[in-house]
């Protein structure tokens, strides 16, 4: 799987660790930054990952900031992106099974690195269930067509 990963300064160390773990499991990881611990603006990195997922040059994306919220807001501005801040294994799984979440937004300041690693593992390994959930995701796509400029 090709995964685009990005963070702001608060998520930098966790991004580095997750990128290494994902590569060790055979995933192609494109790290879009940041590469510094000095303050940077999260929308810059969320936009890069969001665009890559939207244009299908990445299968999925992972974004990390203090809470995951700002990253999700920004990434969701791109067509075909379904991004959400996730804070536990259950929502990591359900976000894939029911919502086909393709951009995982993580809170570097709120969870232990081990918890985040487990959430990413669950999110990567869980497939979209389809069925009635496909109808709902299709409705989201229809709403996008009428509200987002593509």
What CATH number corresponds to the domain at position 51? Answer: 3.40.1400.10
End-to-end CA distance of the chain: 25
Write down the pTM of the prediction. Answer: 0.96
Structurally, the chain folds into a number of domains equal to 1
Q: How far apart are CA 107 and CA 129, in angstroms?
A: 26
- Which ranges in the chain belong to alpha helices (H)? 12-24, 42-54, 69-75, 89-97, 113-125, 132-147
Which residue range(s) make up the domain with 81? 2-149
Q: What is the pLDDT of residues 83-136, one digit of tens each?
A: 999 999 999 999 999 999 999 999 999 999 999 999 999 999 999 999 999 999
Q: How far apart are CA 146 and CA 150, in angstroms?
A: 10
Q: How far apart are CA 78 and CA 72, in angstroms?
A: 11
> What are residue 61's phi and psi, to 5 degrees?
-135, 155
CB half-sphere exposure, 71, CA atoms < 13 A: 31
> Is 98 a known active-site residue?
yes
Catalytic pick among 9, 80, 98, 133: 98
Catalytic pick among 65, 80, 105, 146: 65
Q: What is the pLDDT of residues 12-44, one digit of tens each?
A: 999 999 999 999 999 999 999 999 999 999 999
Asked whether 101 and 83 are in contact (CB, 8 A), the reply is yes
> Is 65 a known active-site residue?
yes
């Amino acid at each position: 799987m090709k995964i685009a990963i990005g963070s702001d300064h608060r998520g930098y160390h966790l991004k580095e660790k997750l990128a290494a773990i994902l590569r060790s499991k055979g995933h192609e990881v494109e790290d879009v930054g940041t590469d510094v611990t000095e303050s940077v603006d999260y929308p810059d990195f969320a936009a890069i990952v969001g665009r890559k997922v939207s244009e299908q040059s990445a299968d999925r994306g992972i974004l990390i900031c203090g809470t995951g919220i700002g990253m999700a807001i920004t990434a969701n501005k791109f067509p075909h992106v379904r991004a959400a801040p996730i804070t536990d294994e259950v929502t990591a799984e359900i976000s894939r099974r029911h919502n086909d979440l393709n951009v995982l937004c993580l809170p570097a300041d709120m969870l232990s690195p081990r918890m985040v690693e487990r959430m990413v593992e669950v999110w990567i390994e869980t497939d979209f269930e389809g069925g009635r959930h496909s109808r709902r995701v299709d409705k989201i796509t229809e709403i996008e067509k009428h509200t987002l400029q593509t």
